[in-house]
Chains A and B, each alone.
Chain A
Amino acid sequence: MTVREIDSSEITRVVRELCIDINYNVPEEMVSLMREAREKEESPLGRQILDLLIRNQDLAAEGEYPYCQDTGYTVVFLDIGQDVHVTGGDVYAAIDEGVRQGYSEGYLRGSIVRDPLFDRKNTGDNTPAFVHTRIVPGDEIRIQVDAKGAGSENMGKHAMLKPADGLDGVKLFVLKAVAESGPNACPPGIIGVGVGGNFEMSAVLAKKALMRKVGQPSPDPQIAELEAELYEKCNALGLGPEALGGTQTVLAVHVETMATHIASLPVAVNIECHAHRTGARVI
């Protein structure tokens, strides 16, 4: 068996490039979905707003002004192949160095305070990143970076439902979360839903659901059907673009599930705004 060596400076380089790129260029599916929403929107004010948001998307892509001034929490999904040996230093320090360089060189806002309670001082460079690591087969490292705005993140909801609440209970919980997020989550966005696992796994699943290519249905037909139903019902809520009324409240609903306990039905809703900024690279 051979072990592939990857220098930690490669991780820094990729994180730095992704931080800059995603804050100016949203994924191409967001470009097309926003334009589709513009065609589907029935409210005249909603259409005007979508026109503005599309202009904002185009302007950001020119590379002068980030899409949104909230350049987010830097969330990193790190999949390390088990046949990789990282050399040259600490992996997490390498990620933070990438964030530091990317946020500084990309003229991005540092939005992280070093302590939540006693010393809310801005770290200035958006570190630390919040990293989810998985060991996977293979000899590559996959890095997905997400710049997650707090306006939508703050509207997230979590509950330990009862098994008797069932599918209907989950649907109601998701719809209430979206209804209550109102304008704060900057619709139209993406709804990430995590069901199952335990307390924390459901929340991570909800975030993972947002990392999927936007609008791509779950490979599980039952879940894909649930996603389609929730998409239709979220849009029936009438929030519309910027929650000023309309038919286009969400661009997609993504649901991820996993095994859970006989006594539990954990559910988490992680809401993403129209400024969905994510990208991935493989080293």
Chain B
Amino acid sequence: MAVETLDDGRKRITAPLSEDDVRELEAGDVVLVSGTIYTARDAAHKVLIEMLDRGEELPFDPSGQIVYYVGPTPERPGNVIGSAGPTTASRMDRYTPRLLEIGLKGIIGKGGRGPAVREELKKHTAVYMAALGGGGALAALQVRSQKVIAFEELGTEAVRAMELEDFPVWVVNDCAGRDFYAETIAPWRRNGLLPEDLHFVVNSGDKGNGGGT
């Protein structure tokens, strides 16, 4: 079993994840990710999708795996890695469905996903999780090893196999279609203080050009 529920309600997961594993992860769950995951962000996604278009084999098999959207800082001598927090996930929205189609089961980033990706997560029984945005120093402490496995020329954007130990994330979009951001923000909006236009606006990554870091 790749999902273990701890006494305090948190869940520890290790890839590969089956569809049954994914179904155990619900929006709002605090999840500790351990084991090997793969990193890829903007430039790597572009190349991965181009490889799929050409019918080539990817540098790793995404089936059942977890991809983490991160571009770390260079590691100091003696350290495993530099700062390594998440980047904005919605920039990868254009690429994500292709990877879900070939079996990717988990994604770690920050911020919301667009409606199309949320729908694809349901369709393919996969899960999107957010790590602590801007918490790059803390994130580094949960990384046990990292190795560039492809696209070394992309530098910080290269694909890495990264071994994590109890890396904390929140489930944002589960395979039932829930969106944790929408659920958590709504009760705190004080409509009485705001112009009417803002009474029901809840962002979930559908707008704007897609964030960064």
Residues of A in contact with B (beta carbons under 8 Å apart): 42-43, 45, 49, 52-53, 55-56, 59-60, 64-71, 107-111, 120, 122, 124, 149-155, 168, 171-172, 175-176, 179-186, 232-233, 236-240, 242-247, 273-275
> What's the Cα separation between A168 and B198 when bound, in Å?
13
Q: A69-B70, A151-B111 known; 8 other A-B pairs, CB under 8 Å?
A: A60-B83, A67-B137, A70-B71, A71-B73, A107-B73, A108-B73, A171-B195, A273-B134
Determine if B189 and A149 form an interchain contact, defined as CB atoms under 8 angstroms apart.
no
Complex interface: chain A residues within 8 A of B167 (CB): none
Q: Pull 24 A–B residue pairs with CB atoms less than 8 Å apart, ordered by A.
A: A56-B135, A59-B138, A66-B73, A66-B136, A67-B83, A69-B136, A70-B71, A70-B85, A109-B83, A154-B208, A168-B195, A176-B197, A179-B203, A181-B203, A182-B181, A182-B185, A183-B181, A184-B90, A233-B194, A236-B194, A242-B110, A243-B184, A244-B181, A273-B213
Determine if B197 and A122 form an interchain contact, defined as CB atoms under 8 angstroms apart.
no
Interface-located stretch among B10-18, B49-57, B74-82, B117-125: B74-82
> What's the Cα separation between A179 and B212 when bound, in Å?
17
B97 within 8 A of A: no
Q: Which one of B155, B185, B209, B212 lies within 8 Å of A239 (CB-CB)?
A: B185
Write the nearest CB–CB distance from A187 to chain B, whole angstroms. 9
Write the nearest CB–CB distance from A26 to chain B, whole angstroms. 11
Complex interface: chain B residues within 8 A of A109 (CB): 71-74, 82-83, 156
Which B88-146 residues have a C-beta within 8 angstroms of A?
88, 90, 110-112, 130, 132-141
B58 within 8 A of A: no
Determine if A56 and B170 form an interchain contact, defined as CB atoms under 8 angstroms apart.
no
Write the nearest CB–CB distance from A161 to chain B, whole angstroms. 14
> What's the Cα separation between A50 and B136 when bound, in Å?
14
Q: Which one of B73, B138, B205 lies within 8 Å of A52 (CB-CB)?
A: B138
Encoded as 1 (CB less than 8 Å from any A CB) or 0, chain B from 187 to 209 comes to: 11110011101100111110111
Complex interface: chain B residues within 8 A of A111 (CB): 71, 156
Write the nearest CB–CB distance from B26 to chain A, whole angstroms. 15
Determine if B198 and A176 form an interchain contact, defined as CB atoms under 8 angstroms apart.
yes
Complex interface: chain A residues within 8 A of B154 (CB): 122
Q: Which one of B130, B180, B185, B208 lies within 8 Å of A240 (CB-CB)?
A: B185
Determine if A175 and B189 form an interchain contact, defined as CB atoms under 8 angstroms apart.
no
> What's the Cα separation between A69 and B133 when bound, in Å?
10
Q: Which one of B130, B136, B181 lies within 8 Å of A67 (CB-CB)?
A: B136
Complex interface: chain B residues within 8 A of A273 (CB): 133-134, 213
